[in-house]
Every structure is written in C-alpha cells, then in structure tokens.
Homo-oligomer: A and B are copies of this chain.
Amino acid sequence: MSMKLPPRTVERLSKYRCLLDRFNNTDEEHISSRKLVALLNLSPEQVRRDLMLIGLTGNHRKGYDIKALVGMIGRTIDRNEGHQVALVGIGNLGRAVLGFIKKSKTKHNIVTAFDIDKNKINARISDVRCYDLCEAGRVIPDKNIPVAILTVPPEAEVSTASLLLQSGIRGILNFTSVHLDVPSGIYLKDYDIITSLEETGFFIQE
C-alpha cells in the first residue's frame, strides 16, 4: 500500500514510531495530536495529514490509540520482513552504524559487510561477516541484498557505488559528502554530516 507517500512523510512516520516507543512501558494508551506536535516541533496540520494518509484519525477526546498507531505505521513503512542490507566500509563510521542498527528495532538487517582491508576480510564484526569488496558481484545477488549503506572514504565513493549498482543494489544510504549520480529507479538517500553541521551553525545565530 501507499507507494505514493512522499519521502518526508515516510521520514516523519519513522520518527513518530521512535517517539511512541517511549510510551511502551507506561500506562498511557492514547496520545493527543497536540502532544505529538509539541514533542516533534511540527504543525498540528502536518501530523493530522500524515496520519490521515495512512488511514488514521484520532478520537476527539482521547487522541490516537498508541498501539493502533504504532501498528499502522509499521504496516505502512515496514514491508514484509524488512530488507537485507550490506554495509560497505568497516571503519569507525561503519562500526558505529552497525552498532546503531543492531540495537534499534528496525526490521532491516545488516547481513554482510564489505571492505578492502585484508585484516578485516573474513572477520566477523558484531556477528556480520566481512567480505572482500571485489566479491560484491557474487555475494550481493546470492544473498539477495537490495540496500547498501556506504561508509567508505570519500575518494573510494564513486567507484564503490558503481560496483554496487552493477551487483544489483537498488537503494543506497550514502554517508559520505560526495555527490553520486545514480540512474533513475535507484533510491539514493544522502546523509550528509557537514550539511547538518552547517545548518546547525547557521541557526544558532542570535
């Protein structure tokens, strides 16, 4: 369902769910849209529109049923059992990303890592086996992996991305600041540390 959801909506749905996790061990069964708004710095219209898009309206008195909300967000943004994901580049950033994802509740699962460092190849890092990057063309189709997280040094970025696309990767989460040209049909999400820092630096001006 809902293939027409815009990226920003999917991003916000994922955030609503993270936030609602906080209420898991409390007695609260409902949350008002006003509270969601306050906790996430969004407008009330935005929140109501997002939730109506996935077929939910709140009860006027009680607000949204938290369990129903979490369930419906899950049915919308988690397809089937989640995707197999390859982590490409096992430096500090790669290890940090691996730890984050292993600890989170996302259904997506890092099943394989790639690197070019002989000391890492064939090692297991947080239970994930690291392969030689030049084996990507065999391992990625074999394991049916559609998503790659790219945490390689900037200078290796473009050639690595092109190798991944040739191996059948259809979505890339790109952690380097390097711009990638990808063919249409490939989903590229740039996750740019420098841009975020510059935005923060800009807006703290008094």
Contact = CB atoms under 8 A, between A and B. Distances in A.
A14 B179 contact: no
Interface string A101-141: 10110101000000000000000000000000000000000
Contacts of A41: 188
A195 B149 contact: no
Interface in A159-203: 170-173, 177, 179, 181, 187-203
Interface string A80-94: 001101000001110
Given A15-B195, A192-B15, A147 B100 contact: no
A7 B92 contact: no
Given A96-B96, A100-B193, 19 more contacts: A10-B202, A15-B179, A18-B177, A18-B192, A40-B179, A77-B202, A79-B202, A82-B201, A83-B201, A92-B93, A101-B193, A104-B177, A147-B200, A172-B200, A173-B196, A173-B197, A173-B200, A187-B200, A191-B193
